[in-house]
Amino acid sequence: MSLKLAGYLFTGPFPVATTEIRANQVPVVFAIVAKGGQSWAPVFRVIDVGASPDEGMRFAEHQCSKDWTAKPGETVGVYLFYAARSEHTAIDRERIAEALRREYDPPRGLV
């Protein structure tokens, strides 16, 4: 599903346990998002935001992954904004992640 955060269109949710960004793949800015509420009126909460390093990453091995926990009734997933190297440097990705942190103040930020 598409989810626009701070003007950037993310896609997801992907499972934290199995999602991986390899070094030869398009790097990403990621948002860890909890989806709660009723199925007909969902509420999205931004738990964490970051950017993948050039060498890639596995979300399950991220240093903060133990903090990506759902509250009762929520499910947690990874949303990705693909930041092609031709358009975004590693510094750009970090800047976007910082803009998201400012706007959503994770882990409390409601979309």
Q: Does 84 bind other proteins (CB under 8 A)?
A: no
Q: Does 2 bind other proteins (CB under 8 A)?
A: yes
* Residue among 4, 22, 71, 102 that touches other proteins (CB under 8 A): 4
Beta-carbon count within 10 A of 37 CB: 12
Q: Does 111 bind other proteins (CB under 8 A)?
A: yes
Q: Which one-letter DSSP state was computed for residue 20?
A: E
As a whole number of angstroms, the distance between CA 52 and CA 42 comes to 27
Residues 48 and 29 sit within 8 Å (Cβ to Cβ): no
Cα–chain center distance at 24: 19
Q: Does 1 bind other proteins (CB under 8 A)?
A: yes
Q: Does 75 bind other proteins (CB under 8 A)?
A: no
- Residues forming contacts to other proteins in the complex (CB under 8 A) are 1-4, 9, 11, 38-44, 110-111
